[in-house]
Amino acid sequence: RKKMGLLLLLIICQCAINSIKTHSVSKPSIILLMADDLGIGDLGCYGNRTLRTPNIDKLAEEGVTLTQHIAASPLCTPSRAAFLTGRYPIRSGMAAFSRVGVFLFSASSGGLPSEEITFSKLLKQKGYATALIGKWHLGMNCESSNDFCHHPLSHGFDYFYGLPVTNFRDCKPGQGSVFLKGVQKGLVIPIQITGIALVSLAVVQYIGLLKVPFQALGYFLLIITISLVVLIFFFYHFRQLNCFLMRDHQIIQQPLSYENLTQRLTKEAMQFIERNTGTPFLLVLSYLHVHTALYASENFKGKSKHGLYGDAVEEMDWSVGQVLDVLEKHNLSDKSLVYFTSDQGAHVEEISSAGEVHGGYNGIYKGGKSTNWEGGIRVPGLLRWPGVVQAGAYIDEPTSNMDIFPTIVQLADAQLPSDRIIDGHDLLPLLQGKVTQSKHEFLFHYCNAYLNAVRWHPGNSQSVWKVFFFTPNFSPEDSNGCYDSHVCFCHGGFITRHDPPLLFDLSRDPEEKVPLTPETESRFHEILRVVHQAVDNHTRSLRAVPNQLSWGNLLWKPWLQLCCSSLFQSCYCDYESGGSPLQVHLG
């Protein structure tokens, strides 16, 4: 009887332990850390030997390093839309047919559609506390300045503290402008046409060939004058109108101050974790680092070997360490999945007006942000979950930032949507070593809304084929980017089309140096045939949706402008400093 009782007790204990394990594995807390424009070669765990990133490297040591982790787009807005929804941005209308592929203004009407299902919505339905801290860049309002149809709180987040758009050079005085050159180029021809038209009208009026009503001429001049005044006003006040900090729906600092900004974001993240130690939570900490304008606090400024860019990377690493420390402090490390990545590759064309390199390092990979060369889309991918995910493992299979959606949705015991295509795949079997091959046989690489390249990893081969239908024209021609235009574009005279397409085998040529030919690759035509068939199948799966990045949705609309005071007061307010909320907040 004693033996039977002991055996029964052991069985009960084992069942309890299994139940606890099942519960913890099924509903862990989720911490998603996303850098902005970070190069894969900027981290120690990916081979960098001069920048100090011990906390991010610790994630690699204690978890899995994905060495072929691919961003769904080489630009911020579409990449982040894909990350949140697990779907190619073309499916949600978050891919542009025009030259501009991201939101530039806080008062644009485009954004992540309310019909899209984000992982934050699904986790919130499962009882998770959810927060987004840092950069959003997926729209704000639709029809009025307070409908917040695209706001993080409308997409499943309980709490938001951060920037609604992004970190522009224009946001930091003395750092130059990303718009000035483009505006100057764009205005030259219209001004010339207007001038020629006015002179011509004056001449034909003078010689009597045509009678132009002075009233019509007056209206024309009035329209031109008003347009120029609005344009000048907007760009003169760009910083106040677009660079501001919000808490939930309230602006708390306009314009944004960079003083102790990373510390403030980090403190918010730590406090959110501490408020939710007893419940599963989802924290997306979306860093402003290392998008320009670069910045670093006094504790980090001038401390790295790579100027202000290196200082910013090392400050971000410090922040990651603070988040990991608070998890450890509250015994949450073993109950939490931590993911670190970048939204796309480093922006190699970023050079300051003083000539200092402000862009990152993409290692051996070609190109950078805005291109689908490997340097633009191959990003860090680190996942740690002690006791569940392999420690110190490297996985060289193609994976995508879209894979996070199905991975964490299934961990939260939520159901994947059945009414739409989800392009991501659950990573957990790969991370646990239960399978050795990624479910991504094909990955489709879009440049804005244009299918640029396709990656094919056959199940029976080590090869990873990559086919380019067009490539950007680098400027200068022998450089590694589009320095003359600051970013590369996706159509017209900015690209070169290839027929037949360019073919690379990334398993042998990860630097994409030498395109294969029928003479150097016997299966050349067979590979192209399979890829074209995959493209046909993929294209048939697409549905027409409203274009969120059309010119109508991109342009600044004064009635959508968020302003914490009034336009006559230059939209100024600061509830973070001055009256000491910031001092109290930072302790």
pLDDT digits over 214-231, tens only? Answer: 666 677 777 777 777 766
pLDDT of residue 489: 97
Question: Are the C-beta atoms of 238 and 555 separated by less than 8 Å?
Answer: no
Within 110-213, where are the H helices?
Answer: 119-125, 180-207
Class for the domain spanning 179-237? mainly alpha
pLDDT of residue 19: 40
Catalytic residue list contains 137: yes
pLDDT of residue 4: 52
Task: Pick the catalytic residue from 76, 490, 564, 571.
Answer: 76
pLDDT of residue 25: 63
pLDDT of residue 185: 59
Provide the 8-state DSSP code for 139.
Answer: B
Question: What pLDDT, in 10s, does the model give residues 400-436?
Answer: 999 999 999 999 999 999 999 999 999 999 999 999 9
- Give the Cα separation of 95 and 77 in Å (integer): 8
Catalytic residue list contains 76: yes
pLDDT of residue 217: 65
pLDDT of residue 13: 47
pLDDT of residue 215: 66
Question: What pLDDT, in 10s, does the model give residues 451-502?
Answer: 999 999 999 899 999 999 999 999 999 999 999 999 999 999 999 999 999 9
Question: How do the domains of the chain map onto residue ranges?
Answer: 29-167+243-560, 179-237
Query: What is the rounded average pLDDT for all residues in the chain?
Result: 90
CATH number for 29-167+243-560 (one of 3.40.720.10, 3.30.930.10, 3.40.1190.20, 3.30.420.40): it is: 3.40.720.10
- Give the Cα separation of 225 and 245 in Å (integer): 33
Parts of the chain with a pLDDT under 70: 1-25, 179-191, 198, 201, 205, 210, 212, 214-217, 230-235, 567, 578-587
pLDDT of residue 1: 52
Task: Pick the catalytic residue from 15, 23, 45, 137.
Answer: 137
Burial 429-441 (b: 16+ CB within 10 A, else e): ebbeeeeeebbbe
pLDDT of residue 248: 97
